[in-house]
Amino acid sequence: EVHLVESGGGLVEPGGSLRLSCAASGFSFSSYSMTWVRQAPGKGLEWVSSISSTDRYIYYVDSVKGRFTISRDNAENSVFLQMNGLRTEDTAVYYCGRKYSGSQGIDYWGQGTLVTVSS
């Protein structure tokens, strides 16, 4: 059974940093692209960043370019999101997701981790 478990969220002041982790199990992690999606309180889903299976291809939404860095460790079956220069508008639940093996969709999601940026 596929499991994705996020961790690393918390309360941080504006300008601060956090590193989110997503531990994967139940599938051949190194064969799948992974993605981060966030959801601000009471709002809709927003794609944040994606990384291909061998990290050859990396993408970011414009609002986080230069501040967030996605990475993965296939030996540890984990994907990470390093978030620097955090802003209040980055406050959200951050979900880790596995890209569907066919087209560009997400077939499994984690339970999410809450990031709160506030002074």
Interface residue list for other proteins (CB under 8 A): 35, 37, 44-47, 50, 59, 61, 95, 100, 102-112
Could you tell me the smallest distance in angstroms from the CB atom of residue 44 to other proteins?
4
Could you tell me the smallest distance in angstroms from the CB atom of residue 81 to other proteins?
15
**How far is C-alpha 45 from the geometric centre of its chain's CA atoms?**
12
- CB nearer to other proteins: pick between 14 and 26: 26
Could you tell me the smallest distance in angstroms from the CB atom of residue 48 to other proteins?
9
